A and B are shown apart, each in its own frame.
Chain A
Amino acid sequence: MSDIHDNLRELYQEVIFDHNRKPRNFHPMPEADHQADGHNPLCGDQLTVFLRIEDGVITDVSFVGHGCAISTASASLMTEAVKGRPVEEVEALFADVHAMLTDTHPERDLGKLEVLGGVREFPARVKCATLAWHTLHNAIVGARDPARTE
Chain B
Amino acid sequence: MNARTDARQLALAGDFPILARPIHGRRLAYLDNGATTQKPDAVIEAERRFYRESNANIHRGVHRLSQEATELYDVARESVRRLLNARAAEEIVFTRGTTEAINLVAASWGRANLKAGDEILLTALEHHSNIVPWQLLCEQTGATIRVVPVSDAGELELAAFEQLLGERTRLLAITQVSNALGTINPVAELTAKAHAAGAIVLIDGAQAVAHQTVDVQAIGCDFYAFSGHKLYGPTGIGALYGRAELLAAMPPWQGGGDMIRTVAFEGSSFAEPPQRFEAGTPNIAGAVGLAAAIDYVQAIGLERIAAHEHALLERATAAVGDIPGVRLIGTARHKASILSFLVDRIHPHDLGTILDAEGVAIRAGHHCAMPLMTRFGIPGTARASFALYNDEADVDALVAAIHKGQDLFGTRGTTR
Binding site for B on A (CB under 8 A): 4-5, 7-8, 11-12, 17, 41-46, 66-70, 122, 124-125, 128
Contacts and interface: CB of A to CB of B under 8 A. Distances in A.
Given A43-B365, A66-B379, A11 B353 contact: yes
Contacts of B25: 4
B357 A44 contact: no
Given A68-B349, A69-B350, A43 B410 contact: no
Given A68-B347, A68-B350, A44 B24 contact: no
Interface centre among B346, B347, B357, B373 (most CB of A within 10 A): B347
Given A68-B347, A68-B350, A45 B357 contact: no
Contacts, number: 50
A149 to B, nearest CB: 12
Given A4-B24, A44-B380, A45-B379, A128 B349 contact: yes
Contacts of B365: 42-44
B51 interface: no
Contacts of A124: 353
B339 interface: no
Interface string B346-368: 11111001100100000011100
Contacts of B380: 43-44
B11 interface: no
Interface string B375-416: 000011000000000000000000000000000111000000
A67 B350 CA distance: 10
A65 to B, nearest CB: 10
A39 to B, nearest CB: 10
Interface residues of B, number: 20
A45 to B, nearest CB: 7
A12 B350 CA distance: 9
Contacts of B364: 43
Contacts of B409: 12, 17, 69
A8 to B, nearest CB: 5
A67 B347 contact: yes
Given A8-B408, A17-B409, A17-B410, A44 B353 contact: no
A42 B365 CA distance: 7
Lowest 6 CB-CB distances: which A-B pairs, in order?
A44-B379, A68-B347, A4-B24, A68-B349, A4-B357, A44-B380
A7 B354 CA distance: 11
Contacts of A68: 347-350
6 contacts: A4-B24, A7-B357, A8-B354, A17-B409, A42-B365, A67-B347
Nearest to B352: A124
B2 to A, nearest CB: 34
B410 A125 contact: no
Given A8-B408, A68-B349, A70-B350, A43 B379 contact: yes
B373 A44 contact: yes
A121 B212 CA distance: 40
B207 to A, nearest CB: 20
A114 to B, nearest CB: 20
B27 to A, nearest CB: 14
Contacts of A122: 353
A46 B347 CA distance: 13
Nearest to A14: B410
